[in-house]
Structure 1
Amino acid sequence: MAPSTQPRPEHPRPQFVRTDWLNLNGTWQFETDRGDSGLERGLRTRELAGEITVPFCPESELSGVADVDFHEAVWYRRTIEVPADWAGRRVLLHFAAVDHDATVWVNDVEVVRHRGGFTGFEADITDQLDGDHRAVVVVRARDSRHGIQARGKQSREYANHDCDYTRTTGIWQTVWLEAVPQTRLLAGAVRPNVAAGEIVVELPVTGNRSGWTASATLADAQGEIVTGAVRVDLDRTPTVTLAVPEDRRRLWAPGDPHLYDLTLRLHDADGAVVDEVASYTALRSVAVDGQAVTINGERVFQRLVLDQGYWPTGIMTAPSDDELRADIERSLAAGFNGARLHQKVFEERFLYHADRLGYLVWGEFGDWGANVGGDPTRNQHPTAAFVNQWIEAVRRDRNHPAIVGWCPLNETHQVIDDHYTQLDDVTRAMFWATKASDPTRPVLDASGYAHRVLETDVWDSHDYEQDPARFAANQAGLAEGRPFANRSDRGEFSLPYVGQPYFVSEFGGIWWNPDALAKEGTDHRDSWGYGQRVADEEEFYRRFAGLVDALLDDPRMFGYCYTQLTDVFQEENGIYRFDRSLKLDLDRIRAAQQRQAAYERRAAS
C-alpha cells in the first residue's frame, strides 16, 4: 500500500535549486526481470505487474517489495503530467541514482542511458511530451551479480556475510522534474580562496549567447555582500571572483560552520534574468603543511568515524531527511568531528547537513566489486568505468565545504612486482583525474593497502590490532619515517613512503553485541567483528580508550577513523546498534576522544 505522504519530498540537490521542480517519488509500477528478458517479452510497452515505493530499492522494506533475492534487471513505469505553467521551457527528468545500468524511455522513445549506481543523470524530455504535457516514463535497471562493477559493500553471495550486506537494485534516490530555459546555467566549481578573502565562481552555460551575462551574488544574514558579472560568450567557462570585505569575512570550521548564500543568474542582452539558481558556499581552506593537514591554516585533529550509510528498512536509502541529519548528530554526540563515508557515494542531502553542522567528511567511491587481491590468477581489476563514475561523484560534490579529502579506492591489495598492471593504471588515473577536477583538497590514492601513486597527498593504513599495546607498537615507526604499512606475506603492497601526512583510516571495529553474548562461535553470517569479541562492556571501554590513546599521543598523526558509527546487519562493531538505539555510554566514548591530541599541542607550542 502506498504511503499517505510522499517519501523523501525535499529537494535532492540543495546546492543548485531552481524554483520550478516536481518530486516524482511515490508509487510506480514495478516488475522484476530475473532473466533480463523483459525487452523481448514486451515489458517496455505494457503495464507492469506490481508496485513499488520510489526512491526505495526493491530489496528494502520501505519499498513495499522487500525481495532480497538477486534481480538481474528490474522495470519501472509511471505516467507523469507536467504543470501547465511550465509551457515554453524545457523539461528535464532527473534520477539522483539508479543501480546499476539504467535505460529510460519516455513515450516509447529512449532518452538516456547511464551506467554507475552511485551518481545521477538527466534527460531533456520536452520533445517527447504529448499535447496534454503527459508522458509515460519507463525505466529498466540492470544489476548483474557477475562481472566487474563498483558495488561497494553489496554482497555478491545470496546472503549477507562478514562485512558485505544486502544489495540495492534500481532506483534508490529521488526522481524529479525541473523546468529550465533553453539556454541555462550549469553547475560549475565554486572555489574559496581564504588567503585572499575571495570566492571564485564558475558560471558555465548550455550555449554561448552574444551579449548575455552571468552573475553571482554573495549574501549573509546582513544582506547582500558582493555581486560579480561576466559575459558568457568570451570563454568556455565564464568565471567571476567575489571579494569578501574583511568585516564580512567569516570562515567555515567545525564548531562555527558559517555559510554564505549564493545566487547565480543568467541575463539576456537586455539585462533581463533568464535563469536563476539558489546555492550556498563558504570560506574554508584545506592544505598540506609538511606532515600536517590544516583547515584554514590550523591543525584540527580529525576524529573521524567510519560511516557506511545503511539503514534496516531503507538499505542504502535513509528513511527520511531527518535521519540523514540525525546520523551526523549521533556521531558528534559520541565525540567524533567527522566521518569517512565508506564504500558508498552518499546522497547529496547528507553533505548539505554536514555543511550546516560543521562536520568533516572524506568522500569515497564504492569501488569494491573488482576483487583485487587473493589469488593473483583470478584478479579482476578496476576498469575505465570506475574512473568515469568516480569523477561524476567528485564533480557533483566538490562545492561542499564539509568535504576535506577524497579517496577514490579502498584496500586494493596487490603486491608490487616487475609488471605494471591495470590496477596501477586505474589508480593513477583516478588520482590525477580527482586532482584535475578539484585541486583544492588532498587526495588519498587508495585507503590502506596498496599506495601505487608516489605523489599521493596523504598516506594511511588500516590496523585492526585489538591489543592497545601491540597497536601502539605497530604505529610507533611514524616518528622515524617508517609508518605502519599494510603488507602481504608475498611482498610489499605500496611504493615507498616519502613523508606525507599520515593517519590510521581504519582501526578499532571492536566486536560487541550486549544482546548476543551467547552467540560466541556462531557463523559470521549471524555476527561479525574484528578480533576477539570483548567479554563485557567494561572491556570495550578499556580497549577503545587504549587504541584511541595510541593515536592521540602521536604528534605526527593528523587524525584517525574509528570503525564504525553503527552496526550494519551482522557486522556488530558499531557505537550504536543498527536501529540507531544506544548501545554504549556515549559520555565515556566522547571522554576518551576529547582530550587534546599531541598533534594539536604541537600547533599550540
Structure 2
Amino acid sequence: MSIQGSKENVIPRPEYPRPQMVRDSWINLNGIWEFEIDHGKSGRARKIYERKLESKILVPFCPESKLSGIEYKDFMAAVWYKREFDIPDEWMGKRVLIHFGAVDYETEVWINGVSAGKHRGGYTSFSFDITGLIKPGTNVVVVCAEDDVRSGLQPKGKQSSEYYSHGCDYTRTTGIWQTVWLECVPQEYISSFKIIPDPENECVYIETYFEGDTDGYTIEGTALYDGKKVGYEKVSIGGKTARFCIKLSEIHLWEPGSPELYDLELVLCKDEEPVDSVKSYFGLRSVILGKNAILINGKPVFQRLVLDQGFYPDGIYTAPSDEDLKRDIEISMELGFNGARLHQKVFEPRFLYWADKLGYLVWGEYGSWGLNITTPMGLERFLPEWLEAVERDFNHPSIIGWCPFNETWDLNGTRQDDEVLRIVYNVTKAIDKTRPVIDTSGNFHVATDVFDIHDYEQNPEVFRAKFEPMKNGGEVYVTFPDRQKYQGQPYFVSEYGGIWWSPGNDKGWGYGQRPASEQEFMERYKGLTEALLSNPAICGFCYTQLYDIEQEVNGLYTYDRKPKFDVKAIYAINSQKAAIEE
C-alpha cells in the first residue's frame, strides 16, 4: 500500500521527545514501518515476525488515524510492527536504550528475534536496555501490541467500546501512538531525577538516580537563568542515588502567564572526569492549599480551566506536529483560560513542555474509564501505570495537581471499591507531597485534598442558586450527598457548561437544550461562568470543552480548531477578577 503524502526519508514528529532530560546521542525511529493486523492474536504461533508484514504504517500515528495511512476503524485484537535500524559505529561498546513514548495497550518488543521486554499500559513511556541484543550495522525491531477496550481490565479513557463513536466516547487508538527512539548512554549513567523547587528558601532540591556501578562517583548540578550561572552544587554518590540542594543567587518565580524558567545541567563524574551529562529545566514555584483557594507562590489564583481531551481529527490521540500541541495551549489562553484539565488521557511530555514554557496550569490525569474498579483487581491494573505517569511528569512546574480517576460510576449496580481510590490517593501523596491530589473528579470522593463537583445545569439562575448559600458560609452544594461528604477543602467546579452549539447540525451531542441563537449561547456562557467567578467559596472552574470532538459539539472551537464564537468576548468573560483574587 502507499501512504499518501509520506516519504521514506521524512520523519514525522522529529522533535526531541523528552524535553526535561536531554542528551545529544539519539536516533528518531518514527517513519515508515511494516505493519499487520492480527485479529486472532495468533501472530506469535504463526511467527509472522519472521517474514515481511503485509502493509506499511507511518509511526507514530495509530492505525485508526488518517495520518497513519491505514485508517482502519474496527476493533483490532493485536497489531504488529517491524523495521530495520542502523547502529552508529561510535555507539558500540556503550549502552543502547530503545524508548517508546506510548503504546496502547500490552506490548512486547523483540530485537533481532529476541524478546527485549514487555510493558502493560497504553499511556506511559517505557524503555528497554537492548545493548546485549544489537549488532554492528543493521538490526531489526519487532513490536506487538494487544488491545481490548471492552475487557474491563484496561483503562481506555474516551476510546469508544462500541463500533461507532457515541456520546462522549470517540475513535479508538491501538498500538504505537508516540515517538519511538534510540538513545546511547555510558555504562554508568543518570537514569532519572526529581526536581523539588523551594521558593521560600530560595533553592531547589535534586534527587538523582543512576544505573551501573556509580559508588564513589560525584554528581554536579548547575542552575542557570538566562544563560547566567545562579547556583551550583557537587556531592559524592553512595550506591545508586544522591540528593542535594542548589542555593539560588537569583529568584525568578514561575507563575501562570509569567513562566520564568531556569536551565539545569547535571554531570556525572568519575575521578573529576565527566562520564554522563543531561540538560533539563525547572520552574521555581510552590502549590499550597488555602482555606478557599489553591495558592501558587503564596497567592490565591482562580483556576480558569478548560477541558482538553487531546484528540486530533487526523491523528486521533497523536498531534500531527509539535506546533499543534503548542497551539492548543495558545488558543485556550486566547479565550482567557489559564489552564486545563488534561482529561481522561496522559498527555505526552511535549505538551507539558509547552505548558511549562507558556505558563499554563494543568492537572495531570489518567484515562481511567473502562477499568472495573469494583474489586481490588482494579488496583492491580491501575496503580503501576499511574505511578509511571506521576514519576515521569513529576518535574513539570505546569502540573499543579494530580487526579487519577474521573466520575467513578457504579458498574451494573455494583459500587466502586473505595479502598482502590483510597490506596491510589495515599500512594500518590507518598510519591509527591508537593501537589494536591483529587481522588476522583466529580464523584464519588473517598479521600481528596480538593472537593470538586460536576454540574451541567444550563439555566444560569438555577446554577447560581446552587452555590449562593456558600458565599456566607452556608450550606455547601454537594452532588450525591449520600455517597460523598464535603470536609472543608477548597471547592472546585471541575466540569460545567458543555453548551451544545453546532449550527445546522442536529445530530451532534452536547449537554442540555441547545441555545436558539449565538446570542443566547453567549448569555448562557456568561451567566454560568460569572456565577462561579463571583463566589468567594469557589477556587476554580473547568469549562467543557475547548474544541468539538467528532459527534460531541460543545467546544468553543471546532474540531479543526477554528473559533465558533467571538474570541475577545469569551476572553472578556473569563478574565474578570474572581472573588478569591480580590
User: TM-score, normalized by length of structure 1?
Assistant: 0.92
- Map of 2:522 onto structure 1: 541
- CA RMSD across the alignment: 1.7
Per the TM alignment, residue 481 of structure 1 is displaced from its structure 2 partner at its CA by 5.6
What letter matches 2:35 in structure 1?
F
Aligned to 1:331: 332
> 2 CA distance for matches of 1:469 and 1:128?
66
Determine helix, strand or coil for the equivalent of 1:127. coil
Say whether the 8 Å CA contact 2:149–2:155 is kept in structure 1: no
Counterpart check, 1:389 vs 2:379: no
Q: Tell me, which stretches of 5 or more residues in structure 1 are unaligned?
A: 374-378
Render the CA deviation track for 1:438-475: whole Å, top value 9, x for unaligned.
1101111110010011xx21101000000001111222
**CA-to-partner distance for each residue in 1:416-440, whole Å, 9 max, x for gaps?**
x9x9x76212101211111111110
* Equivalent residue number for residue 365 of structure 2: 364
CA distance in 1, matches of 2:482, 2:317: 35
In structure 2, give the amino acid aligned to 1:242: I
Match of 1:240 in 2: 244
Q: Secondary structure at the match of 1:425?
A: helix
Name the CA distance, whole Å, in 1 between partners of 2:107 and 2:253: 41
Counterparts in 2 of 1:42-121, with a 5 A limit? 42-121=47-126
Residue by residue over 1:1-23, the C-alpha shift from the partner in whole angstroms, topping out at 9 and shown as x without a partner, is 45232100001100001110000
Partner of 1:444: 438
Task: Go from structure 1 to structure 2 and tell me whether the alpha carbon gap of 1:113 and 1:372 turns closer, same or farther (over 3 Å shift).
Answer: closer
CA shift for structure 1 position 414 = 4.3
Cα deviations across residues 285-335 of structure 1 (Å, max 9, x unaligned)? Answer: 100122221000011111000000000000010000000000000000011
Partner of residue 482, structure 2? 492
1:143 aligns with 2:147: yes
CA 1:150–1:482: 2 relative to 1, 3 Å: farther
- Post-superposition shift, 1:208? 4.3
Q: Does 1:483 align with 2:476?
A: yes
Q: Does the CA-based 8 Å contact 1:457-1:500 persist in structure 2?
A: yes
Residue 540 of structure 2 aligns to which amino acid in structure 1? G
- What is aligned with 1:563? 544
Q: Helix, strand or coil for the counterpart of 1:590?
A: helix
Aligned-partner Cα distance in 2 for 1:20–1:461: 47
- Are the aligned partners of 2:35 and 2:53 in contact in 1 as well (CA < 8 Å)? yes
C-alpha separation in 2, matches of 1:422 and 1:153: 19
Residues 222 and 175 from structure 1, CA distance in 2 versus in 1: closer, same or farther, beyond 3 angstroms?
closer
Which whole-Å CA distance do the structure 2 matches of 1:220 and 1:108 have between them? 47
**1:186 alignment partner AA:** S
**1:146 to partner: Cα distance:** 3.0
Letter in 2 for 1:339: A
- Alignment-derived partner of residue 255 in structure 1: 257
1:409 is aligned to 405
CA contact 2:261–2:357 (8 Å) conserved in 1: yes
Corresponding position: 1:460 with 2:452: yes
Is 199-208 or 280-289 further displaced after alignment?
199-208
Runs of 5+ unmatched residues, structure 2: none
Match of 2:292 in 1: 291
Provide the rounded CA distance (Å) in 2 between the counterparts of 1:271 and 1:306: 49
Work out the CA distance in 1 between the residues paired with 2:385 and 2:180. 19
Matched-pair contact (CA < 8 Å) for 2:303–2:339: yes
Deviation of residue 371 (structure 1)? 5.3
Q: Separation in 1 of the partners of 2:477 and 2:117?
A: 47
Is it true that 1:584 corresponds to 2:577 in the alignment? no
Secondary structure (helix, strand or coil) at the match of 1:218 reads strand
Partner of 1:510: 499
Aligned residue pairs, count:
574
| Residues 33-81 of structure 1: per-residue CA shift (max 9 Å, x gap) | 1111111122122110000000000000000000000000000001111
Residue 473, structure 1, aligned to residue 473, structure 2? no
Q: 1:346 to 1:481 in 2, by over 3 A?
A: farther
Q: Tell me the residue number matched to 1:177.
A: 182
Runs (4+) of structure 1 exceeding 4 A deviation are none
Is 2:426 the counterpart of 1:432?
yes
Q: Which residue of 2 aligns with 1:376?
A: none
> Which residue type is aligned with residue 162 of structure 2?
E
CA apart distance, 1:565: 0.3
TM-score scaled by length of structure 2? 0.96
Alpha-carbon contact 1:460-1:485 (below 8 Å) kept: no
SS of residue matched to 2:191: coil
Rounded to whole Å, the distance in 2 between the matches of 1:598 and 1:225 is 38
